[in-house]
Amino acid sequence: MSAVELKSLLAGAGDEHERWARTINPQFVRVLRTIGFDRTWVRADGAYLYDDDGNRYLDLLGGFGMYNVGRNNPRIRSALVEALELETPGSVQLGVTALPGLLAEALLARTPARLERVLFTSSGTEAVEAALKLGRAATGRTRVLSAEHGFHGLTLGSLSANGNAEFTERFGPLLPGFDRVPFGDLDALERQLRTEDVALFLVEPVQGKGVHLPPPGYLEGAQELCRRYGTLFAVDEVQTGFGRTGRMFAFEHWGLEPDLVPVAKSLSGGYVPVGALLMSRAVHEAVFDSMENAFSHGSTFAPNELAMAAGLATLHELETEGLVERSARLGAELLERTRPLVDDFEVVRDVRGLGLMWAIEFGEPARSGRLSWRLIERMQPGLFAQLVVVPLFSEHHILSQVAGHRLAVLKVLPALCLGDDDLDEFVDALRSTVKAARRMPRSLTRFALTAAGIG
């Protein structure tokens, strides 16, 4: 189909919410309508989304963290167009091409020497699945440990490592051999590792659900314990990778040298599904140990040539545009400018983050606003955060998210090319929205009642 036909097809497409509800997921469309997020999106650029009325929205949700280099980044697009125009061979399957090796080399050049091999996938959860399978085969052990409240994707293996009941209940039985330990508790971890039957410990360096940073010394200690008991140390960088936390990879903050590192999301600039498992040579050689076992794990579409071209362009973009440093600087500024909210509003419990992975947590105020808080939270725990997310969107045209089911936490994962003005806009809008939500006007009460009905 030519570009012109696509354009006219889109122009005559009609009501996409109605079609989505009819053909894809009606409950999702109900949610969007209830919270007033059912806009017709027509265009995007960097950290902005535009609706069909020409309104500009500041996108701080960033496609759940896949637009680190900004939406419709022109340089990533050029690389994709060039790859298409070159008519590269694509997946030969029984043959190799140049682009996957080039991206693998580029990734390994930016990670510790311990990581020497790359297995490409098409998503984050598949990269985690690869870590689980290869970790088991390489160690000859079956158990897998992960952290409570951890998130690693929604396919059955990754889900078995998930630390949140709302994702796992209804989908059991999950895989055997999976256990969880509290995030930050080295004693609990050691109690589990001591039996020397744990293949891998899978952990996010900063937990995405709620944005929880590790206590000092935790990740370094976890790595040391893993080495001591022969367990592979798997650091899930799917959300934190590619500059999100102010370093290319979050594990750099603590000088870690993991054995397994799943990555995905931003690697292809948000254009093409992609994922990868970076691993030590020892793990790889233990699994792919003979010609007979050369095909032990993989999938038809991975590595995808367009994803590889976009990946190479994304690494280049992050570096030439200084986006990793920008994430560190803007993240520090955002923290500094939002920390006073904790003193200014009783309802603000905490403000935390690393780079441009940032969250504000709300809690029951001791004095003023206590009754409203109780009323709202009784309807549905975490609902107060919606009372901030919704007006930020409808009144200030800022897209953000609640950081997890039943959590009174608002989270942002913006493009790292976010402007200084965008930061100002967000900080001002947040202050006035929290102030208003605390008083809970009647319209918001109505909203809260409706929203509770969707849960």
Question: Min. distance of Cβ 239 from ligand PLP in angstroms?
Answer: 4
CA distance linking residue 50 with residue 42, whole number of Å:
6
* Sign (positive or negative) of CA dihedral 366, 369, 371, 372: negative
Of the two residues 219 and 440, which places its CB atom closer to ligand PLP in the complex?
219
- Which of 28, 36, 41, 66 is closest to 271 using CA atoms? 66
Please state, in angstroms and rounded to a whole number, the distance separating the CA atoms of residues 106 and 220. 26
Stretch that binds ligand PLP, among 48-56, 108-116, 120-128, 445-453 (CB under 6 A): 120-128
- The residue among 80 and 161 lying less far from ligand PLP, judged by its C-beta, is 161
DSSP string, 182-225: -TT-HHHHHHHHTTS-EEEEEE-SSBTTTTBPPPTTHHHHHHHH
Interacting span for ligand PLP (CB under 6 A) from 73-81, 234-242, 309-317, 426-434: 234-242
Q: Using CB under 6 A, pick the residue from 264, 392, 407, 444 that binds ligand PLP.
A: 264
What is the torsional sign of CA 242, 57, 154, 214? positive
Q: Is 128 in the site for ligand PLP (CB under 6 A)?
A: yes
Decide: is 123 part of the binding site for ligand PLP (CB under 6 A). Answer: yes
The one-letter code for the residue type at 171 is F
236 binds ligand PLP (CB under 6 A): yes
- Choose between 213 and 440: whose C-beta lies nearer to ligand PLP: 213
| Under 8 Å between Cβ of 349 and 342 | yes
Q: Which stretch binds ligand PLP (CB under 6 A): 102-110, 232-240, 346-354, 391-399?
A: 232-240
Task: Give min distance, CB of 67 to ligand PLP, in A.
Answer: 13
163 sits near ligand PLP (criterion: CB under 6 A)? no
Q: What SS3 class is residue 144? A: strand
Q: Of residues 46, 62, 153, 331, which one binds ligand PLP by CB under 6 A?
A: 153
Give me the DSSP letters along 253-313.
Answer: GGT---SEEEE-GGGGTTSS--EEEEEEHHHHHHHS-SGGGTTSS-BTTBS-HHHHHHHHH
Does 238 contact ligand PLP by CB under 6 A?
yes
Give the end-to-end CA distance of the chain in Å, rounded to a whole number.
41
Q: How far apart are CA 386 and CA 376, in angstroms?
A: 10
Rounded to whole angstroms, the maximal C-alpha distance in the chain is 70
Judged by CB, which is closer to ligand PLP: 156, or 375? 156
Closest residue to ligand PLP, Cβ-based?
124
Q: Is 361 in the site for ligand PLP (CB under 6 A)?
A: no
Smallest separation, CB 40 to ligand PLP (Å): 25
Neighbouring C-beta atoms of residue 425, cutoff 10 Å:
15
**Spatial CA neighbour of 243 closest among 48, 65, 47, 124:** 65
Instruction: Choose, by CB under 6 A, the member of 68, 73, 111, 125 that binds ligand PLP.
Output: 125
Stretch of 106-114, 148-156, 223-231, 281-289 lying at the interface with ligand PLP (CB under 6 A)? 148-156
Give the range of 235-243, 353-361, 415-423, 435-443 binding ligand PLP by CB under 6 A. 235-243
Among 39, 71, 143, 152, binds ligand PLP (CB under 6 A): 152
Long-range contact set of residues 375-383: C-beta below 8 Å, sequence gap at least 24: 375/445, 376/440, 376/448, 377/408, 379/448, 379/449, 379/451, 379/452, 380/406, 380/451, 380/452, 380/455, 381/406, 381/407, 381/408, 382/406, 382/407, 382/408, 382/409, 383/408, 383/448, 383/451, 383/452
Give the one residue of 48, 57, 67, 151 binding ligand PLP; rule: CB under 6 A. 151
CB of 240 to ligand PLP, least distance (A): 7
Site for ligand PLP in 49-68 (CB under 6 A): 64
- In the shown chain, the binding pattern of residues 64 to 103 toward ligand PLP, with x for contact by CB under 6 A and - for none, equals x---------------------------------------
DSSP state of 145: E
**Nearest-angstrom CA–CA distance, 283 and 384:** 46
Cβ closest to ligand PLP, residue 119 vs residue 238: 238
Of the residues 129, 204, 305, 361, which one makes contact with ligand PLP according to CB under 6 A: 204
> According to the binding rule CB under 6 A, does residue 129 interact with ligand PLP?
no
Which residues of the chain form contacts with ligand PLP (CB under 6 A)? 64, 123-125, 128, 151-153, 204, 208, 236, 238-239, 264
